[in-house]
Amino acid sequence: MVTTTTVREPAARTGPDGPAPRPRRGRTPRALRRRPNVLAGLGGFVWLAVIIVPVYYVVISSLRAQQGFFATNPLAFPSHITFDNYSLVLNSGFGRYFLNSVVITIAAVAVTVVLSLMAAYAVVRGNGRFVRSAFSVFLLGLAIPVHATIIPLYYMITKVHLYDSLLALILPSIGFAIPITVLILANFIRDIPKELFESMRMDGASDLRILRSLVMPLARPAIVTVGIYDGLHVWNGFLFPLILTQSPNQRVLPMALWTFQGEFTVNVPAILAAVVLSTLPMLAAYLLGRRYLVRGLTAGFSK
């Protein structure tokens, strides 16, 4: 009971008789909060409409029957809801495509994060010309558009007989995710106090040991950030699958959407059901880890 009251006490402070609420760090000051900003609110709701109308259209259209689709009011809620479109899409190999997407995303992110963590540690804690030039090379990588390298990549992947395999998607994804990942991780590791490294070194810890017991636990927020950022990129990647794979067995979700669109040209509700289905995994991830996702996406860049 005692604990409950102490927990609730802060809420009472905001009551009319309580002491003035303490100004909290990083929030809009009270003076601004009292006067509603009508114009900003209006703008905010206009943008909400811009965001929501397409999403609403896609969802309700995916629940319509194909018959009569072209004649209905596109924004009206369907009088008769059907899940036929969803079962059609699910029976068109969706499970396989989903699994492929999961495999390439997990594999690419895991390898990228491990290699980049090692590299970031070496860049921050190492000395000598090699690590300095290594870091410059990574920085250069940020400016290279993926598209510019796709033709030679296609050539290389074909030559080593990896064309039309999931590995053909995983390997270049790692290569292109490494620069930004190293950069963000290095920025973070740089903030770890030097003394911690030195005292571990005094105790005779090896690089691997320091990486495992010191860097990894302390850099966890940064690891989450890059994991999310890289994961989104690999999951949504379109160019590598478009050029480096071909058969339905190696198809990933964005590619599946694109081919559905070609196959079901007249069945628009089914195409839109595929769009919804392809988004559901991300939506689930978002609902489960909203805090991490938003913080992770912003933390890496807001320095």
Nearest to 116 by CA among 173, 177, 182, 171: 182
Compute the distance between CA of residue 103 and CA of residue 97 in angstroms, rounded to an integer: 10
List of residues 6+ apart from 299 with CB closer than 8 A: 221, 222, 225
Cβ neighbourhood burial of 128 (10 Å; 0-12, 13-18, 19+): exposed
State the nearest-atom distance from the C-beta of 227 to another protein, in Å.
Answer: 16
Nearest to 171 by CA among 93, 227, 115, 118: 115
State the nearest-atom distance from the C-beta of 298 to another protein, in Å.
Answer: 4
Closer of 166 and 253 to another protein (Cβ): 253
Closer of 99 and 144 to another protein (Cβ): 144
State the nearest-atom distance from the C-beta of 295 to another protein, in Å.
Answer: 8
State the nearest-atom distance from the C-beta of 249 to another protein, in Å.
Answer: 19
Number of residues assigned to the chain: 303
Compute the distance between CA of residue 150 and CA of residue 148 in angstroms, rounded to an integer: 6
Closer of 12 and 48 to another protein (Cβ): 48
Closer of 55 and 81 to another protein (Cβ): 55
Closer of 1 and 287 to another protein (Cβ): 287
178, 115 Cβ separation under 8 angstroms:
yes
State the nearest-atom distance from the C-beta of 18 to another protein, in Å.
Answer: 18
Query: Between the CA of residue 112 and those of 116, 126, 139, 149, what are the distances in Å?
Result: 6, 20, 16, 19
State the nearest-atom distance from the C-beta of 228 to another protein, in Å.
Answer: 10
Tokens of 105: 């995303």
State the nearest-atom distance from the C-beta of 220 to another protein, in Å.
Answer: 19
Closer of 2 and 195 to another protein (Cβ): 195
139, 208 Cβ separation under 8 angstroms:
no
Closer of 3 and 85 to another protein (Cβ): 85
Neighbours of 297 (CB within 10 A): 14
